[in-house]
Amino acid sequence: VSGVAVNCPPAKLAAVGADQMNKIGPLVFETVDKCQRSPIWMMAILWGFFAYGAIWLLIKEPKNKLFHLISLFCLGLIIFPEFFYFKDIYPLHFRSNTMFKLGYQVFMMMGIVAGATIVSWFRVHSSWKKWIFFAGLTPMLILVSIYPYFAVKSYFGELKTYHGIYGLKWLEERYPDDWEAIKWLDKNIPEGQQPVVLEANGDSYTDYDRISAFSGYPTVAGWTVHEWLWRGSYDPIAKRAEEVKTVYESPDLEASRSVLTKYDVKYIVVGGLERQKYPQLDEEKIKELGKQVFSSGTTQIYQVI
């Protein structure tokens, strides 16, 4: 994040060029086209159910200050992105990270408030008050239920085939050799140690960096755009990606060894994704850099010597 930017900046304070920005203290003013507002109907769909519950609690449980405080805090998180956003690397979807990161917090906290609302509803003895509340709640509940209905179906299909609750089942099925490599690392590296494991890095939301992600051991370079986003600069990840490529493709043994020393690499992974990413992969050179300590199908692990 390079600053807190103003959404829909006033023309007098806005920057002129697309790559420019003005700053006043901690506030950033980009160009006037950096202006996005959330439609009222969209806000109602997203937050109407929770807002209704918060108002009910405010009326029926005025002494329950904890839930009122949570609701007030969430209201601030919802309003903030309508006026400000945390400036990151994305030029078009400049509010996206601010919106969804704050929105996630609101959704979880207001879910707790909604639970308290339901309990409060059962405490009401007057039946007509209950049904008035329920009549107002039902359309809001239907609206907020639209998202999980489609989200669950889009990810899990039609829910006709049970896949279990194990989160790494897909990895075991799609990349069985890599899965065996991960298990080998988990079994053979002493507890408390965090050796650097070299593997191919790739773009965001791909299967690259799978060894690091699912073994928990660090690697030299992660997903390119995410690394760029977290650091605010493309240069560090671009440089590291080239160094990783050097180890896999360069015929220069000393240059490759220099990269391994620089990042204190202990293990080198050579699998299907490495061969796909680096078509000039020099396995004979890698055999000179380390000794093979694991092999399963097309995946090998070399321990740097």
Counts for the chain of helices (H) and strands (E), in that order: 12, 8
Largest CA distance in the chain: 82
pLDDT digits over 219-229, tens only? 999 999 999 98
Q: What is the pTM of this model?
A: 0.78
In sequence order, what DSSP letters do the residues of 216-242 get, joined into one string? ----S---HHHHHHHHT-SHHHHHHHH
pLDDT digits over 138-188, tens only? 887 787 778 788 888 887 777 788 878 888 999 999 999 999 999 999 999
| Percent of the chain residues past pLDDT 70, beyond the cut | 100
